Amino acid sequence: MSEATTASQPSQPSQEFEKVLTGSATQVASFDTHDKTPIQRFQHFLHGSPSAVPLIVLVLSVAIFGVILGGKFFSAFTLTLILQQVAIVGIVGAAQTLVILTAGIDLSVGAIMVLSSVVMGQFTFRYGLPPVVAVACGLACGALCGYINGLLVARMKLPPFIVTLGMWQIILASNFLYSANETIRSQDIATNAPLLQFFGNNLKLGSAVFTYGVIAMVLLVAVLWYVLNHTAWGRHVYAVGDDPDAAELAGVNVKRMLVSVYTLSGLICALAGWALIGRIGSVSPTAGQFANIESITAVVIGGLSLFGGRGSILGMIFGALIVGVFSLGLRLIGTDPQWTYLLIGVLIISAVAIDQWIRKVAG
């Protein structure tokens, strides 16, 4: 009987340090399972799908202008015209997206684009090189400019804003000095080097008109979307933008990644320069002066975080299309063009405010 009584009593601590555990809680740990409010659930959804906001804005803007303008806006020709107008911004925006995902910024994208197009034209008409070789030299020029940016940012640890601001001025001045501010006429290009105008050629599907520049933009974005989401290089881009020190500790060569990102960005800008020749028909050293601002606008409205590490290249395309829809829609209505800039400014500030609100989830 005494043995049974002893067995039913709780065991006493056998060690001195175990005595402090005698009165401790015995409940099993559990997570807080209270239901989130609809706003909190929506906030988490946007954090996981950063391109959702620009997609919603794009659909609403198309619907609103469609109601106001009717068939005048909802025609295949008008909708494909929007794609043609944003093709250059979309390609340059893809380059800007890569840089901003690493928590950088590139103010020289427009200047690289124009210089590359000038190199293609001058190498063809001044030096008599075959157009294929001239295009290759222009692409190499863009990649070299991007490589220099990458070296200064990664190796010398200079701020991307300062580096690309300086390179913007250097490249812009070099462009005017090298070209002597001369424009190569569209007629001369069409006669002697039609390859330079390749991306301006049309592909008609009924009343819809697609230029090869639009097709190039779509293919480029599709390839970059796959690379960023399904390859180790793409995951490293996000890791470097989110926390470069943590990425370094995880085995990512941050310096090499940054150089590769800026080099690829420069190459894409050179591709945009080739597409620019097809878009305007001529080689002009004064074309595309605001491409850097337009690309940043598309990226910001597209929901990419300027702090790096978050966003989708699809959002950038949605952002570019939003600007295109507003520009063409307001023009068809007949409003003052300044209203376009006003609304775009509101969209930019709203996009950054929404990004800050969404980031609170991760905070």
Mean pLDDT of all residues belonging to the chain? 88
Q: Are 321 and 89 in contact (CB under 8 A)?
A: no
pLDDT attached to residue 24 = 58
Alpha-carbon distance of 126 to 263, in angstroms, equals: 27
C-alpha separations of 213 from 2, 37, 44, 179, 280 in Å: 93, 45, 36, 24, 11
pLDDT attached to residue 22 = 60
Nearest to 164 by CA among 179, 138, 145: 145
Which residue type occupies 23?
Answer: G
Tell me which of 45-54, 65-74, 212-221, 246-255 is least confident. 45-54
pLDDT range class, residue 57, cuts 50, 70, 90: confident
CB burial readout 54-71, b (16+ within 10 A) else e: bbebbeebbeebbeebee
In the chain, where the domains are located: 56-358
What's the Rg (C-alpha) of the chain? 27
Tokens read off for 127: 């030096």
Confidence (pTM): 0.86
pLDDT attached to residue 311 = 87
- Per-residue pLDDT tens for 19-29? 555 665 566 55
Burial zone of 153 (CB within 10 Å; 0-12 exposed, 13-18 middle, 19+ buried)? buried
The CATH-assigned architecture of domain 56-358 is: Orthogonal Bundle (1.10)
pLDDT of 244 > 70? The answer is: yes
Q: Which uninterrupted H or E stretch holds 203?
A: strand 202-205
Angle formed at CA 206 by CA 85 and CA 63, multiple of 5 degrees: 55
pLDDT attached to residue 49 = 74
Q: What percent of the chain stands above pLDDT 70?
A: 88
- Per-residue pLDDT tens for 122-149? 999 999 999 999 999 999 999 999 999 9
- Per-residue pLDDT tens for 164-210? 999 999 999 999 999 988 999 999 999 999 999 999 999 888 888 89
Alpha-carbon distance of 303 to 319, in angstroms, equals: 8
303 Cα distance to chain centroid: 9
